[in-house]
Amino acid sequence: MSEKKKFTIEYEIKSSPRILYTFLNEPNGLSQWFADDVSVRDSLYTFTWDGEEQKAKLVTIKENKLVRFKWLDDEPQCYFEMEIIQDELTNDVALGITDFALPELVGERKLIWDNQIQYLISVIGA
């Protein structure tokens, strides 16, 4: 059985870390770009796409910096993380995504992120 492979992608986003952060950890923010609907109870997030629910636990959170979620039904080493990276010199803001997928599905998964992030950028108006 093939093990999932970790991959990272980075996107430049013209936004302040504070504004961007609300779209990464608040159900209301996440439901505007990441999933059709998002609800949270006791750091357990329920993401809904096309009527299908997936649950993830918020395992790491750093204000205005980073959120890491772990899908409840995924392999133990797998998670997905969204990190706000700010360049100290230029103050440019980027969003770093870390995710896991089967080696043959990494390309497809990156395309899904590309689409989601384009949507996020349009929602922020960046």
| pTM score over 0.85 | yes
CATH code of 50's domain: 3.30.530.20
Among candidate residues 35, 42, 96, 101, the one with its CA nearest the CA of residue 67: 96
Per-residue pLDDT 10s for the chain (126 aa) are 679 999 999 999 999 999 999 999 999 999 999 999 999 999 899 999 999 999 999 999 999 999 999 999 998 899 999 999 999 999 999 999 999 999 999 999 999 999 999 999 999 986
Which pLDDT value is given to residue 125? 86
Query: How many other C-beta atoms can be found within 10 angstroms of the C-beta atom of residue 73?
Result: 7
Which pLDDT value is given to residue 99? 97
Which pLDDT value is given to residue 94? 97
- The sheet carrying 44-49 orders its strands as 5-12, 93-101, 80-86, 66-71, 52-62, 44-49, 37-41
How many structural domains are present in the chain? 1
Instruction: State which residues form the domain around 78.
Output: 5-124
CA angle 86, 68, 70 (to 5 degrees): 160
3-class DSSP state of 19: helix
